[in-house]
Structure 1
Amino acid sequence: MNKFCSQLVGFRLTSSKVFLSILFILGNSLLAIEPIILTENRGEYPLGLHLEILEDKEGTLTIDDVQKPKMEKLWFKSQWEVPNFGLSKNVYWARFKIQSQSKKDHYLEIAYPPMDKIDFYILSEGENIIHKKAGDFLPFKERDVQYRNYVFRIVPNENPKTYYLRFETESPMQFPLTLWTSVSLTEKINGEMLGFGLYYGTMLVMILYNLFLFLSVRDKSYLYYIGYIASFLCYLASVNGIGFEYLWQDYPFFNSMIPSTIAVTLFFSTLFTQSFLQTSIHAKTINKLLTTVSVSSLIIALASTKLSYSLSIRITSTIVLIFVILAIVSSATVLKAGYRPARYFLYAWIVLLFGGIIFTLMNFGILPRTFLTNYGMQFGSAFEVILLSLGLADRINELKRQNELANIKTLEAEQRSNKVKDEFLANLSHEIKTPLTIVYAYSEMLTTGKDYSDEVKEYSKEIYTHAQKLNDYVSDVMFVTDLESNLQLQRSTVDLEKLVGYVIKQHQSLVEEKDVFIELNLGEHTNFHCDEILLEKALSAIIKNAIVYNNQGGKIRIESEITLSHFQHLQITITDTGIGISLEFHEKVFEKFFRVDSSLTYTVSGVGVGLYIAKKIIELHSGSIELQSELEKGTKVKIVLPSI
């Protein structure tokens, strides 16, 4: 009985082994890869759904290991057009089989430039394994095809061939695989390069355009904007392989700088946000947070060269998300406060955020890799640049509008101030005139009285003289107020020779005191049309200056002539040999209440309105006044007036 049981158990065990062996053989046959048939009339073969994938968590498997029968159960059929596993430390294997009915060469493209290491194995019966390497850790010149993506040449073979790929990277793990004929691949590359050319060309034009605007208007916003666009282009050039293909072929190290370029982009975009939105004025709390983000981004830009790629990407992605939220909130806040350009900024960052979210979700394996998700960042940034450029243009208009409003307010304030000042001066002058009249009367009485000593009369005469000066000052100040109140001209025919003679006679005592010689050369035609009282006051101010600022025993020459241009004009020139005026003060001497700061001017009394009054009167006559002078070489004042 025991013997029978033993035989029965042995039979069952043998049967089980046979059954499992049959299942294993059947399983292997079921899991066998279906070859991709290459035909003459087809140029593109997406491989995503034709792949089998193996996850190597330890990263230790070799090509021999993954071919062993015991590993078959670990392979699984790809369910994605583009396998995407996000940020993963694991190594992934992929395999596919090809059977060619075409004599054309085909090319395997791995359209993911940030992939660090790629091992490509070609297997076929009776042949050795062919091993090729690629990845952004290797110099660009070692690639089979000099192209931004990884491309391997596949020779046609009627017998099925199996191909293995090993992928290892710190960037998001995805491997978009496509098989192309040479013609189809060339067409694809040409179209792609056209798109990249348009995109990068547009961005470079925007950089140059904004650089020109910065040099023109000196607004820091344009400089930050240029930095933002330039650093963003560096980031995209790293991600899509354009930079490696055209800029740093012999320096694979730069391919690991993507987190740094993101951080630098974040730094400039933060500065641009603060400057463009004027957050220090409109949103002070958010401005402090943005400052924290900008400082953090600089630290990350430096630290990412030491940290692992995946950790750096996670940190920068988090801070970018924080910044975008702050940018949108701050733009909405500033827009609510009434700052119009903020609307362009808000729309721009919403568009970029949408493109960035799509791209980020694709990198983390949440969204599939498609044309839209792969180039979402480029689309978003292109629209963003356009909107921000419109925003900068609107910002210029807004600043102009604000400046105009500020100028209007300043002008109104100045007008109010002038009105108050004029009223004050008028009242003050009126109040001073009353006691001056009394001073005149008493000083004249003391001077002419018979009952007073010579000493008293001398003092009285001095009082009278200074009272007269004070009266002249008050009269000048009051006249300035009248001039600025749209004074109307009372024109009549005037003889210039008589007018000049009258003015010189007014200042005869000064002429004698300075021993000045006055030479007159007034020509034949001296009659002209003007307001005699006003012009007398203008000439009086100029001739008086020529006397009092002249050297002892100096000369003054007064000339006139009729000049013809489009109309007939009378030109009057007054030249002296006095102390002269420094070039830096030539325009200022015509300003109200201005006096040249020198020891000589303080020896001459005055309030600094003489030349201001003269200029205003001449301009009322539609004329012009010009001053030419050098220190210690005298002064020439040229007046041009319409003679009719």
Structure 2
Amino acid sequence: MLKLYFTLTIACLSIVVFADGKHVISVEKYPFSIHNQSEIVDLGEDFVSLDEVIADKSKFAFTSLANPTTNLGFTNHHYWVRFKLTNSSSEVKKWFLETARPITDVADLYRIDADEKISLVKNGDMIPFANRPVEHRKLLFPIHLEANSSAEFYLHLHSDGEVISLPLTIHDDFSLIKATYFDQLIFGIFYGLLALAATTYLFFYFGIKEKSFMLYVFYVVSVALLHSSLDGYFFQYFLKDSGWFADRSLLLFAAISGVLFGRYTQVYSRVKNFSKPLNTAFNCVNISILILILGILIYDPGRPLYYPLVNGLGFTLIILCTIGVTLSIIRKQPVDIFFALGIASFTLGFIVFILNNFNLIPNSFITENSAKLGTGLEILFLSLSMANRIRLLRNEKEKAQTLALQRSEESNEIKSYFLSNMSHELRTPLNAILGLSQSIMSEISDEKIKENL
């Protein structure tokens, strides 16, 4: 166990000094990470209070953080992180500490001042958005340090089984605004693409009545809901408070998007036509996800298992989609190039995202947002694929109309031929009947018989 606490000293040029006094790192601009000055301990599923942690420091084996964006993986454990900040300048410093993910349930920051006074700032997905210390989709803590003062901090993190990542980033006002603008640009492009795709193909569905178009629209909407939940926007703008649905929204959106993705792939690529076993496999995975949704709704104790399970089932669907595209090529079935590129993009992004969630690759901005990048490219390519689908449907309709016209002309010709022949065959006996009737009428005088004739 590390016995020395680390000290962060920020002067006019933001100088970071290790507590052992042997290393000095100059930080010229915000933001920057303090992970090198922080330590963490995993206390398992049982909550341990701050008083217990402080009372017997030797009992808890705090360890250094591995990197600036440590990923703790799927977990429902309680974690404590500790660090110390010092302001050696002659001015009051105002910082913002960014940590965890927007979906983290509990993120409580305890501050211990030099006079042993303890204060608490609560944050996380379990408190109303209006009660957050900073009304922002990210979990931010405002920190004020008086001139020539220092304070110890203990951060308590807990979630219900979802992934916990652990950035410990210090912002000033300007860097926080700059980071927010950058997020708005990236996320604006992403969500704008989803909104455009969903709206466009919703109108196409009402015009064409093609089932795959409506499945595609539902899938895009579910993807938007899933990512808005991951990014904190759904909680910020729609839920705004914790509750039954807030606790389950991320899992539900992930499971629903998985089902819709599987059904859309089945319908669009017509898996049933070229591989019944593969179609059966799709059905089995979809049924498994529906059972998972039922568990999410009615059985809370299984929640720590639901997060890795929904990721695993999603990954299985991607494998089935890849197999479907491969089989189509092998059996010389028509495969839309944009559909194949969309599946490939989503597969690559989702694989990186899954590996990051299971803490198998280092956490970074790219790996953490790989699913968003892969999904954005997937939606773009699938939209182009759907445009090709419209062209194919239009060609099929034109061919059907041409064939119907040809058959109509053939039917008219057959009818004309039939009538011309039948009129000749009918005229001969009718003429004989009419002639005989007239001859009889001319030779009899009975008016009743003439009337009958």
Same fold (TM over 0.5): yes
**Distance in 1 of aligned mates of 2:97 and 2:253:** 30
Q: Is the 8 A contact 1:85 1:172 kept in 2?
A: yes
What displacement does 1:453 show?
5.7
**Aligned pair 1:36/2:8, yes or no?**
yes
Q: 1:233 to 1:438 in 2, by over 3 A?
A: closer
**Distance in 1 of aligned mates of 2:122 and 2:63:** 24
Q: What's the counterpart of residue 608 of structure 1?
A: none
Task: Report the 3-state secondary structure (helix = DSSP H, G, I; strand = E; otherwise coil) of the residue aligned with 2:239.
Answer: coil
Q: What's the counterpart of residue 119 of structure 2?
A: 130
What displacement does 1:242 show?
0.9
What displacement does 1:73 show?
7.0
Q: What's the counterpart of residue 234 of structure 2?
A: 243
What displacement does 1:425 show?
5.4
Decide which moves more: 212-221 or 147-156: 212-221
Code of the aligned partner of 1:79 = A
Q: What's the counterpart of residue 18 of structure 2?
A: none
Q: Is the 8 A contact 1:118 1:134 kept in 2?
A: yes
Q: What's the counterpart of residue 186 of structure 2?
A: 195
What displacement does 1:322 show?
2.2
**Distance in 2 of aligned mates of 1:437 and 1:127:** 124
What displacement does 1:231 show?
1.6
**Aligned pair 1:175/2:162, yes or no?**
no
Q: Is the 8 A contact 1:447 1:461 kept in 2?
A: no
What displacement does 1:373 show?
1.2
**Aligned pair 1:267/2:259, yes or no?**
yes
How big is each residue's C-alpha offset from its partner over 1:489-512, in whole Å with a ceiling of 9 and x where there is no partner? xxxxxxxxxxxxxxxxxxxxxxxx
Matches within 5 A, 1:85-104: 85-102=72-89, 103=91, 104=93
Matches within 5 A, 1:284-303: 284-303=276-295
What displacement does 1:146 show?
0.6
Q: Is the 8 A contact 1:335 1:342 kept in 2?
A: no
Supply the RMSD in Å over aligned alpha carbons.
Answer: 3.3
Q: What's the counterpart of residue 636 of structure 1?
A: none
What displacement does 1:287 show?
3.4
What displacement does 1:395 show?
0.5
The higher-RCO structure (CA 8 Å, 6+ apart) is: 2
Code of the aligned partner of 2:293 = A
**Aligned pair 1:319/2:313, yes or no?**
yes
What displacement does 1:403 show?
2.1
Code of the aligned partner of 2:296 = S
Q: What's the counterpart of residue 232 of structure 1?
A: 223
**Aligned pair 1:361/2:352, yes or no?**
no
Q: Percent identity?
A: 24
Code of the aligned partner of 2:379 = V
**Aligned pair 1:382/2:376, yes or no?**
yes
What displacement does 1:261 show?
0.9
Q: 1:407 to 1:446 in 2, by over 3 A?
A: closer
**Distance in 1 of aligned mates of 2:65 and 2:187:** 31
What displacement does 1:370 show?
0.9
Code of the aligned partner of 1:202 = L
Q: What's the counterpart of residue 213 of structure 2?
A: 222
Q: Please give the TM-score of this superposition, normalised by the length of structure 1.
A: 0.60
Code of the aligned partner of 2:203 = F
Of 41, 44, 48, 1:57 maps to: 44
Q: 1:148 to 1:441 in 2, by over 3 A?
A: closer
**Distance in 2 of aligned mates of 1:438 and 1:69:** 121
**Distance in 2 of aligned mates of 1:402 and 1:333:** 24
Higher Rg: 1
Matches within 5 A, 1:488-507: none
How big is each residue's C-alpha offset from its partner over 1:52-85, in whole Å with a ceiling of 9 and x where there is no partner? 1212135343323333565277122222222222
**Distance in 2 of aligned mates of 1:340 and 1:165:** 56
**Distance in 2 of aligned mates of 1:274 and 1:129:** 58
Q: What's the counterpart of residue 599 of structure 1?
A: none
Q: What's the counterpart of residue 303 of structure 2?
A: 309
Q: What's the counterpart of residue 66 of structure 1?
A: 53
Q: Gaps (5+ residues) in structure 1?
A: 1-26, 464-644
Q: Is the 8 A contact 2:40 2:81 kept in 1?
A: yes
Q: Gaps (5+ residues) in structure 2?
A: 14-28
What displacement does 1:346 show?
2.3
Q: 1:444 to 1:55 in 2, by over 3 A?
A: closer
How big is each residue's C-alpha offset from its partner over 1:580-607, in whole Å with a ceiling of 9 and x where there is no partner? xxxxxxxxxxxxxxxxxxxxxxxxxxxx
What displacement does 1:335 show?
5.9
**Distance in 1 of aligned mates of 2:32 and 2:265:** 45
How big is each residue's C-alpha offset from its partner over 1:157-213, in whole Å with a ceiling of 9 and x where there is no partner? 534432211211121232111111122112211221232233223322322222222
What displacement does 1:241 show?
0.7
Q: Please give the TM-score of this superposition, normalised by the length of structure 2.
A: 0.83
Question: What number of residue pairs does the alignment pair up?
Answer: 430
Q: Is the 8 A contact 2:272 2:279 kept in 1?
A: yes
Q: Is the 8 A contact 2:87 2:150 kept in 1?
A: yes
Q: What's the counterpart of residue 143 of structure 2?
A: 154
Q: 1:126 to 1:340 in 2, by over 3 A?
A: same
Code of the aligned partner of 1:56 = L
Matches within 5 A, 1:194-593: 194-253=185-244, 254-305=246-297, 306-307=299-300, 308-334=302-328, 340=334, 342-416=336-410, 432=425, 437=428, 440=431, 444=435, 454=444
How big is each residue's C-alpha offset from its partner over 1:7-29, in whole Å with a ceiling of 9 and x where there is no partner? xxxxxxxxxxxxxxxxxxxx87x
Q: What's the counterpart of residue 589 of structure 1?
A: none
**Distance in 1 of aligned mates of 2:45 and 2:186:** 40
What displacement does 1:388 show?
1.3
**Distance in 2 of aligned mates of 1:32 and 1:402:** 75
Q: Is the 8 A contact 1:211 1:223 kept in 2?
A: yes
**Distance in 2 of aligned mates of 1:250 and 1:312:** 22
Task: Report the 3-state secondary structure (helix = DSSP H, G, I; strand = E; otherwise coil) of the residue aligned with 1:98.
Answer: strand
Code of the aligned partner of 2:151 = K
Q: What's the counterpart of residue 17 of structure 2?
A: none
Q: 1:420 to 1:366 in 2, by over 3 A?
A: same
Task: Report the 3-state secondary structure (helix = DSSP H, G, I; strand = E; otherwise coil) of the residue aligned with 1:97.
Answer: strand
How big is each residue's C-alpha offset from its partner over 1:615-638, in whole Å with a ceiling of 9 and x where there is no partner? xxxxxxxxxxxxxxxxxxxxxxxx
**Distance in 1 of aligned mates of 2:187 and 2:322:** 29
How big is each residue's C-alpha offset from its partner over 1:85-133, in whole Å with a ceiling of 9 and x where there is no partner? 2123332221122222343311111141121112212224333122222
